[in-house]
Amino acid sequence: MTTGANTLSKTASYRELRDHFQWSLPNRLNMAEQCLASPHDRCAIIDLSGSQCREISIAELGEMSARLAQTLIVKGVEPGDRVGVLRSQDPWCAAAHLAIWRMGAISVPLFKLFKRDALKTRVSDAGCAIIVTDSESSASLTGLADPLVPETDLSDGTLEGFAETKPDTPACLIYTSGTTGAPKGALHGHRMLTGHLPGVEMSHGFLGQPGDCLWTPADWAWIGGLFDVLMPGLALGVPVVAARMSKFTPEACLRVVREGHVRNVFFPPTALRMLKAADLRIPGLRSVASGGEPLGAEMLAWGRAVLGVEINEFYGQTECNMVASSCGSLFDAIPGAIGRAVPGFDVAVVDETGQPTDQEGDIAVRRGAASMMLGYWNKPAETEEKFRGEWLITGDRGVIEDGFIRFVGREDDVITSGGYRIGPAEIEDCLLTHPAVATVGVVGKPDPVRTEIVKAYVVLKDGTRPSEAELQEWVKDRLAAYSYPREIAYLQSLPMTVTGKVIRKQLKARAIAELDPAKRD
């Protein structure tokens, strides 16, 4: 691994890393160029997405991206235009983002499990005229955007070189679910990749050691798959495994690790719980990173005993990612804590006035971090609300003890289920379009495997009685299979504020009480 101002030199001292680290963001910076800077004969992607395993070199990936970039130009895409990417883990997914960045356009990751309504919301808001996809999803884009299938639609010629982009030139627009309204797009500049490197290296015990090979079951449509694994792996010269998994199973996971010779994995907490429940050993791993929600002492002990590694937890969000991490080779993990601030990030807990406090408060990140968003797409008011003075407010509550950040809970109502962050407002809006639903409130209900499940409390219109399955299918068909309400309860009325807003806090308390028969109404 090459070292420099934006990568971590292997050391035994966390304090030394913190004290000597400085961001180095040159005036000219292009993420595609960063990812393709390794020697051309080096393996970039180990492709297990098809029927046979094959290796894609840096040179081949660069050629793919150059041809696709030229095709986009022929189709009229200009710098600053938004281009969607609707593909699973495969080489063309990686090449699509690189092609878009190398020509100065903005990539918009889209999840293959999104149904039409979820796609329409994001594609319309971003203004995508073209979406790079595959033949399977091409037909679903009719009326939304022009599909481009690289396997069949490439034009002649290649784009030589890379656009003259700067650290703050917009490059990637990633949508994140919120508690109110439609999903918001977090717009990031070309410094985004640089901002992820220290945290990724730290969470994998200095990623880039001889023989390292990286994989995650998280889809590359999400920031966790795209910027915690794929792009940092390419930038650091670490081969990345591409493997489609329509559904995560411990057995399929073991197969991918064996066939791809994987040594470094990012596992969402739900995947770890499933592996633990299956009592399955995965040999040969050097590092395991996990993020999205805190792990308990029992899970950390299981990782040491069964996986043979210290599971390094990390913390961040779409708006500013990889800001804190554990690192077993530098310091012992503390159960319940999400690690320490990654070098280059000033993370604090602040009070209502925006002042750092040693009491419980809002976890915040100081402006100037390289992985921090430029702002929400076309939403200046919402962007301003995200900040309190010099601090970006994450929406999580916590406390810092001896430099360790302890997560207390979310301030909002975002649901964490199976590794996905799900906004209740989008599900509520979808259910309200059903002809039988008068009003609805959606919350997360604690679950031992998925962390939470989506629960909907529904008030029906007079004379109607749809089945639970009918309402579940309504959401599955319009949003995504992972976000449908696994439980639905019918009520006569919902708790409401004087202005007519559903009080989700009371519904959440009701859902928790349902787990304890002694507390039920």
pTM score? 0.85
Render pLDDT for 340-378 as a digit per residue (tens, 0 to 9).
999 999 999 999 999 999 998 999 999 999 999 999 999
Q: For residue 424, count CB atoms less than 10 angstroms from its CB and return exposed for 0-12, middle for 13-18, buried for 19 or more.
A: buried
Which of residues 190, 224, 247 is at a domain's end?
190
Which of residues 190, 216, 235 is at a domain's end?
190
Would 129 be classed as within a structural domain?
A: yes
Six-digit token pair at 174?
Answer: 């990633």
Would 16 be classed as within a structural domain?
A: no
Would 186 be classed as within a structural domain?
A: yes
Would 487 be classed as within a structural domain?
A: yes
Question: What domain range includes position 139?
Answer: 29-40+57-190
Chain centroid offset of residue 198 CA: 17
Would 377 be classed as within a structural domain?
A: no
Which of residues 162, 190, 218 is at a domain's end?
190
Six-digit token pair at 492?
Answer: 């006569």
What's the confidence (pLDDT) of residue 4? 38
Would 392 be classed as within a structural domain?
A: no
Number of domains, the chain: 2
**In whole angstroms, what is the distance from residue 375 CA to residue 380 CA?**
7
Render pLDDT for 304-337 as a digit per residue (tens, 0 to 9).
999 999 999 999 999 999 999 999 999 998 877 8
Q: For residue 514, count CB atoms less than 10 angstroms from its CB and return exposed for 0-12, middle for 13-18, buried for 19 or more.
A: middle
What's the confidence (pLDDT) of residue 520? 46
What's the confidence (pLDDT) of residue 50? 82
Would 149 be classed as within a structural domain?
A: yes
Which residues of the chain fall below pLDDT 50?
Answer: 1-5, 520-521
CATH, residue 165? 3.40.50.12780
- The one-letter amino acid at 482: Y
CATH, residue 476? 3.30.300.30
**In whole angstroms, what is the distance from residue 171 CA to residue 187 CA?**
8
**In whole angstroms, what is the distance from residue 208 CA to residue 27 CA?**
26
User: Residue 510: helix, strand or coil by DSSP?
Assistant: helix
Would 22 be classed as within a structural domain?
A: no
Q: For residue 286, count CB atoms less than 10 angstroms from its CB and return exposed for 0-12, middle for 13-18, buried for 19 or more.
A: middle
